């Protein structure tokens, strides 16, 4: 029978889907990875499970352990349902930094492998928002290890553009833009940073427009490229 032992076994192996309308007029084929297919509807489900499993392997969790984690959003939700499934107690606090190595590691081991498998290794550009920095770090490190020409594009709120030397500020985009540079982020692996405004990030009929922070011409690898002007993500 194909029945999951518990909800944590349903994490990962999310599908890729071609974004035809969003990529209309571009020289690139653009696909989105539907991390909303995870049990708690977030990419953070991966790291919630990975961090708990890493602590279990290290013998740091017992039946009396109270797990304390700094998080401001979906990581906390992920940890909450993983801990509920395992019977652990959990306390969440507001973060000062993100530095758990299990975060990028699970993306090297799962997310990157899924992207590589589902694209038959033809992925040329990876675009990811930066919250903890774990997704883009893990995915880019793993894929660039096999395909050095692949580009890694980070996305941050224009109102809090700290990755490009700006000042932290308030914004309305949940999940990214913590207002500081996370320790877990490998800045050397990032080729470009794109800014997106809160207004453009909200759901609407038109494709939101973002702007490149530097460079000119086109950004691409191999025979695929993303045009600078009006780049949709």
Positions annotated as catalytic residues are 44
Is residue 42 within 8 Å of residue 10, measured between CB atoms? no
Is residue 214 within 8 Å of residue 228, measured between CB atoms?
no
* Among 108, 131, 122, residue whose Cα is nearest residue 46: 108
**How buried is residue 179: exposed, middle or buried, by Cβ count under 10 Å (0-12/13-18/19+)?**
middle
Which residues is 232 bridged to in the sheet? 209
H-helix or E-strand containing 119?
none
Contact 181, 187 (CB under 8 A): yes
């Amino acid at each position: 029978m194909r029945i999951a032992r518990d909800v944590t076994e349903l994490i990962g192996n999310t599908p890729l889907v071609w974004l035809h309308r969003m990529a209309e007029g571009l020289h690139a084929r653009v696909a989105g990875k539907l991390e909303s297919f995870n049990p708690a509807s977030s990419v953070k489900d991966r790291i919630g499970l990975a961090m708990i499993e890493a602590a279990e392997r290290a013998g740091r969790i017992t039946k009396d352990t109270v797990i304390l984690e700094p998080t401001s959003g979906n990581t906390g939700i992920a940890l909450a349902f993983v801990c509920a499934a395992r019977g652990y107690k959990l306390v969440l606090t507001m973060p000062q930094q993100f530095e758990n190595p299990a975060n990028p590691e699970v993306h090297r081991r799962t997310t990157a492998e899924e992207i590589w498998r589902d694209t038959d290794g033809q992925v040329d550009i990876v675009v990811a928002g930066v919250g903890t920095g774990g997704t883009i770090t893990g995915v880019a490190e793993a894929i660039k290890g096999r395909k050095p020409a692949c580009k890694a594009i980070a996305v941050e709120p224009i109102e809090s553009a700290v990755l490009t030397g700006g000042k932290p500020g308030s914004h309305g985009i949940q999940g990214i833009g913590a207002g500081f540079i996370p320790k877990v982020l490998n800045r050397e692996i990032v080729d470009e940073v794109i800014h997106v405004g809160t207004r453009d990030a909200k759901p609407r009929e038109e494709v939101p427009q973002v702007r490149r922070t530097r460079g000119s011409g086109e950004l691409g690898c191999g025979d695929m490229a993303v045009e600078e002007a009006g780049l949709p993500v």
